[in-house]
Amino acid sequence: MNFNSKLMKNLSDCFSPSGREQNIREMIINEISDYADEVNIDALGNVIARKKGNGKKVLFSAHMDQIGLIITHVDERGFLRFSNVGGLDADELIGLHMVFDKGLEGFISSEELEGKEKVTMSKLFLDVGSTSKDFVKANFKVGDMCVFQAQYYETPDCVKCKAADNRIGCYVLIEALKNHPATENDVYYVFSVQEEVGCRGAKTAGYIVNPDLAIAVDVTSTGDSEDGTKMDVKLGDGAAIKIMDKSVIAHPEVKELLTDLAVENNIKYQYEILEFGGTDAGPIHLSREGVKTGAISIPTRNIHSSGEIFNKQDVIECIRLVQAVAAK
């Protein structure tokens, strides 16, 4: 299996912050519609693709939204005020380049800060680079969203890009669906909305599918840098089988299943305990009467920045593990 750089680049570059997933939804549907037996979109905008079978219902979920900013006020002099969409802190934002849906750009600047005053969102603004009131009025509205501007970049083994969280997860599910194994299982590939603001899409998707087994596919942090977060997940050490995060304790049977499948199929794996953050597994395992749920994570550095880095071979191991679950 080769890494499809073109697909990954397209997914990463696709503008779709939480609640504005129309572009990525279209791209994914175009990509998968020839391979799925059914593709549905629910009220919140989740894509629910199905490979029909008479066996147990298996749900895979990867969220397709990305973090960004929402415009809360337009000053005609070309300064936009904003609030965060998903986990972004004000003090990480100054100096970043942002891009809107149609390609317009902005640069994040700050009001004058006194001494060591804490940076808050209300002190920041986006300079859209125009002194023309007409241009500003015509192009920017309250409610518009923007995302990081960053170039997709690869080395022989790794990728650096924006929105790897969680377009890699989408990539994994697209590739798994395209190479869906022969199986009796009734398999649902869900591309969920609004994960970054509280795993909202997965809640309705979990309810609709009502699966017997669910696996979230999302990024996880690493403990790669010497003095960074202490965490036993490493780039290049394979698919990460989740044990626990803030939203879920993986069902022990699911953790065992994933481990056994990895061993059987010679898939490189590692265990993951994430001390912060959650995934779609959170709402899904609490859906209806409860669902046995686990997660496969792609180790990723610098999550929620404009330069998220992951290893291509790890992604391939994740795809193989998803296929093994689908077939089991």
Q: Tell which one of 25, 50, 203, 285 touches other proteins (CB under 8 A).
A: 203
Pick the catalytic residue from 31, 175, 195, 308. 195
Kindly indicate which of the ranges 28-36, 204-212, 217-225, 247-255 contains the residues binding other proteins, using the contact rule CB under 8 A: 204-212
Segment interacting with other proteins, rule: CB under 8 A, options 172-180, 202-210, 223-231, 253-261: 202-210
Query: What mask, x for binding other proteins by CB under 8 A, covers residues 109 to 128?
Result: -------------x------
In this complex, which beta carbon is closest to other proteins, that of residue 122 or of residue 155? 122
Smallest separation, CB 304 to other proteins (Å): 17
Q: Site for other proteins (CB under 8 A): which residue of 16, 66, 192, 204?
A: 204
Count of beta carbons in the 10 Å neighbourhood of residue 114: 6
CB 97 within 8 A of CB 105: yes
> Does the footprint of other proteins cover residue 75 (CB under 8 A)?
yes
Q: Does 286 bind other proteins (CB under 8 A)?
A: no
Q: Determine whether 195 is an active site residue.
A: yes
Judged by CB under 8 A, does residue 85 bind other proteins? Answer: yes
Q: CA end-to-end span of the chain, whole Å?
A: 20
Position among 2, 43, 131, 156 found at the interface with other proteins (CB under 8 A): 43
The span from the CA of 232 to the CA of 223, in Å, is 6
63 binds other proteins, rule: CB under 8 A: no
Select 44 or 249, whichever has its Cβ closest to other proteins.
44
Interface with other proteins includes 208 (CB under 8 A)?
A: yes
- Residue closest to 247 by CA, chosen among 291, 279, 272, 201: 279
Q: Which of 42, 105, 154, 224 binds other proteins (CB under 8 A)?
A: 42
Residues 111 and 35: their CA atoms lie apart, in Å, by 51
Check residue 197 for interaction with other proteins (CB under 8 A): yes
Smallest distance, other proteins to C-beta of residue 270, A: 33
Number of Cβ atoms within 10 Å of the Cβ of 266: 8
Among 52, 91, 207, 246, binds other proteins (CB under 8 A): 207
Give 193 or 295: the residue with its C-beta nearer to other proteins. Answer: 193
Which of 12, 61, 194, 311 touches other proteins by CB under 8 A? 194
**Max CA distance (Å), the chain:** 66
Which span (29-37, 38-46, 241-249, 308-316) binds other proteins, by CB under 8 A? 38-46
Joined tokens for residue 94: 């100054």
Q: Which residues bind other proteins (CB under 8 A)?
A: 18-20, 42-44, 70, 72-73, 75, 81, 83-85, 122, 142-143, 194, 197, 200, 203-204, 207-208
User: Catalytic positions, please?
Assistant: 195
